[in-house]
Chain A
Amino acid sequence: EAQVTQNPRYLITVTGKKLTVTCSQNMNHEYMSWYRQDPGLGLRQIYYSMNVEVTDKGDVPEGYKVSRKEKRNFPLILESPSPNQTSLYFCASSLSRFSYEQYFGPGTRLTVT
């Protein structure tokens, strides 16, 4: 089954404790991205990747890191999480940057205390 998977689905952590949210797709997609969803703000792009080893900042990159060493994986790293990073995070992928149908993962709900 074609899908985007994220792990973990739920995470409660404390300020400053490094964490990684994994994202994997099995559709051989070139383009992958991370969004955060906050009430009243919709989805905002954190980082995106057009292909392996090609990543760039989205609209809200502060406090996040990403890497794209393999085509299928695009982990989101929070080196020192803070409470303002409490949010619902979505990973998405598409065939290419010009293929506008993005496939979204199920989401990761992160709480930072």
Chain B
Amino acid sequence: AQSVTQLGSHVSVSEGALVLLRCNYSSSVPPYLFWYVQYPNQGLQLLLKYTTGATLVKGINGFEAEFKKSETSFHLTKPSAHMSDAAEYFCAVSESNFGNEKLTFGTGTRLTIIP
């Protein structure tokens, strides 16, 4: 069975500082990996995804993530935090021979930006 672990339920960074949100997964087959963002009082929105090909994937709003098979990780980064990045971020994994019905979400990381 697949699973996702997000280290740190709350992360605070100063405006302009590096954002690093950690995600580790377990999967018995090659995984598909995703980051979703949830702004206050809204539904989730896809930030970026990795399925196959280039292991460094770029998403919206300047975020990127790197799939590292040897570390079973898919950490989310942004070089310079902006106040508008304050939100909750969810990492998710699906096994490559399944579709959305097998998508497993992590417990989320709430990102706070300090002015």
Contacts and interface: CB of A to CB of B under 8 A. Distances in A.
Interface in B84-115: 90, 94, 99-101, 103, 105-108
Contacts of A56: 101
Contacts of B42: 106-107
B101 A48 contact: yes
Interface string B22-60: 000000000010100000011111100101000000000
A4 B32 contact: no
Contact of B41 (A50, A104, A106): A106
Contacts of B106: 42
Contacts of A105: 43
Contact of A100 (B43, B44, B45, B94): B94
B45 A48 contact: no
Contact of A40 (B9, B32, B105): B9
A33 B94 CA distance: 15
Contact of A42 (B34, B51, B99, B107): B107
A22 to B, nearest CB: 15
B49 A106 contact: no
A41 interface: yes
A3 to B, nearest CB: 10
B43 A104 contact: yes
**Which of B45, B49, B105 has its CB near the most chain A CB atoms (within 10 A)?**
B105
A53 B101 CA distance: 16
A102 interface: yes
Contacts of A92: 43-44
26 contacts: A31-B99, A33-B101, A41-B107, A42-B108, A43-B90, A44-B105, A48-B101, A92-B43, A92-B44, A96-B99, A98-B99, A98-B100, A100-B32, A100-B46, A100-B51, A100-B94, A100-B99, A100-B103, A101-B49, A102-B100, A103-B43, A104-B43, A104-B45, A106-B41, A106-B42, A107-B42
Interface of A: 4, 31, 33, 35, 40-45, 48, 50, 56, 58, 90, 92, 94, 96-107
Give the 5 A-B CB pairs with smallest separation, nearest first: A104-B43, A97-B99, A42-B107, A43-B105, A42-B105
